[in-house]
Structure 1
């Protein structure tokens, strides 16, 4: 079944080579508008991606490291723009532009900020854990090591994952807001509203920080604060 789907996608790409080329050229033009190097060389269509190897192949849903490509959120990986396969024929090449622009801003212009924010959020918990370990070693309370291992360790991992997801969500929404300053103000909102009207069943991943389509729409519709 997966093989048939891949053949169908390849057949569509060949039949719509001009559309795919227009999406690629639009992505390159967006790099220029955003002041980024012209690094995009390919547009790929797939519903699943393996984040462990960053290879576009035939990963199976449910496998470790495998995630669904959101229908409303293109991914920018290395020199490729990754689009959800289930969105084939749903949008015109021009309609993909605002979505790709937001992804470019998030991945390339906000990357330093998101790494710095995550490091800052994790600094205090890390110091607290190290302090607890040092105190435990000093007092020689072996049972405290067990408590730390059972409760603090997993709690630290969960906290880190939640903070990471929260920061990613905030920055993705910030990228949407920045997109409206570069492109036509309502272009991104119009495309997201169109995708929403398709009635696709999409679930945001809280841990990887991808906001839901309604979060993105609400963010763009929110009144802009006056400076």
Structure 2
């Protein structure tokens, strides 16, 4: 794609974001597109976006570079709608799940103090031995809940932009066999415990249920 072609492509994407903002009654003023290239497989959202996800940072629309030229401006609409709904309409749900997640650690800390007070060193050793499984459980719970919120955002976005249109885009992205998307589909302990993004096959299944038999 030529430089002028890329500029037009990005302008159309920004227009799509503006239109979605009006439809969702979200105050957003997109002014540029940033193409993000993922370097490593990292389940945590803190280490980068999945290649089937997008993000917003002020007026910057952050999109996965592997999908540049692969999706038309119109085909970006379902993914952009889902992210807008996730960010702007799901904040209270995310905070509630975070508070529940933190409560696990607070309860463990309280139990550690009680056990160390009753059994001295043995009680503290027992509490510390539980630290790893408690941390794993806490991480899994929060990650699982974030994946659930994202899937709910997909469902709401499908109702907004069209279920069949959303499903077609997800299946098209899946057909590209992008490496980090494929790794997430494989699952495994690390992805299951700490990934904040649902695998694309889970997204496809969720949207497909909206179509019915």
Q: TM-score, normalised by structure 2?
A: 0.83
1:211 paired to 2:198: yes
Correspondent of 1:41 among 8, 18, 31: 31
Correspondent of 1:146 among 125, 138, 144: 125
Aligned residue number for residue 179 of structure 1: 157
Pick 1 or 2: higher relative contact order, CA cutoff 8 A, min separation 6: 2
Secondary structure at the aligned position of 1:29 is classed as: helix
Displacement of 1:69? 2.9
Q: How does 1:56-71 map to 2 (within 5 A)?
A: 61=40, 67-71=47-51
Tell me if the contact between 1:164 and 1:208 (Cα under 8 Å) persists in the aligned partners.
Answer: no
Displacement of 1:68? 4.6
What are the superposed Cα offsets for residues 122-170 of structure 1, whole Å, 9 maximum, x if unpaired? 42x3353233233234325122213322x22222221121011100111
**Aligned equivalents of 2:109 and 2:48: distance in 1?**
36
Q: TM-score, normalised by structure 1?
A: 0.78
Tell me if the contact between 1:102 and 1:176 (Cα under 8 Å) persists in the aligned partners.
Answer: yes
Tell me if the contact between 2:163 and 2:210 (Cα under 8 Å) persists in the aligned partners.
Answer: no
Correspondent of 2:21 among 31, 35, 39: 31
Tell me if the contact between 2:31 and 2:59 (Cα under 8 Å) persists in the aligned partners.
Answer: yes
Higher helix proportion: 2
